[in-house]
């Protein structure tokens, strides 16, 4: 049972993980996603792009394409975490900053990954998502007059 308000690509990703009832299969999917993530330039692995609250070293960047959609790129020194990052990047592909900011983290629970992840990895998954939302908020504020949206409201989700 998937949340109907999820964007199509994210919904598809969540359903794919729901079908993999075996934790080993979920790990394999994450490792496959990690391999598919495009390389991140070393020059972008700077403190401003580092995800706080992750045991692994995780970096993420965000920029707008010509259509005003957010393009994320990222990397991690741990393959499993890199897979979680790739899951989120793929799932939010083609979304506007506003659409990303409005996403609730409930879908993370729906993937069934919590059962397969250590508590610190599960927490890292949420922190990666929260960082992506914060970066989307900054892009939205720069793009329009969304300055009225408070970063604290994102940190609460």
Q: How far is CA 86 from CA 12, 32, 55, 133, 151, in A?
A: 14, 9, 17, 15, 24
Give counts: helices (H), strands (E), the chain: 7, 2
54 in catalytic set: yes
Query: Cα(81)–Cα(56) distance, rounded to whole angstroms?
Result: 7
51, 54, 84, 140: the active-site residue: 54
Q: Which of 146, 111, 142 is nearest to 126 (CA)?
A: 111
Residues with Cβ within 8 Å of residue 49, at least 6 apart in sequence: 59, 60, 61
- What amino acid positions are annotated as catalytic residues? 54
């Amino acid at each position: 049972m998937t949340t109907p308000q999820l964007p199509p690509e994210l919904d598809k990703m969540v359903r794919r993980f729901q079908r993999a009832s075996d934790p080993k299969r979920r790990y394999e999917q994450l490792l496959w996603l990690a391999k598919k993530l495009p390389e991140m330039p070393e020059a972008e692995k700077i403190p401003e792009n580092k995800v706080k609250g992750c045991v692994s070293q995780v970096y993420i960047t965000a920029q707008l394409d010509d259509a005003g959609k957010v393009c994320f790129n990222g990397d991690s020194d741990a393959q499993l975490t890199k897979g979680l990052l790739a899951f989120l990047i793929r799932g939010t592909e083609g979304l506007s900053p506003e659409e990303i900011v409005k996403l609730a983290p409930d879908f993370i629970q729906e993937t069934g990954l919590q059962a397969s992840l250590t508590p610190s990895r599960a927490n890292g998954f949420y922190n990666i998502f929260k960082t992506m939302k914060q970066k989307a908020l900054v892009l939205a504020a720069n793009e329009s007059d969304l300055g009225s949206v408070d970063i604290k409201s994102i940190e609460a989700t």
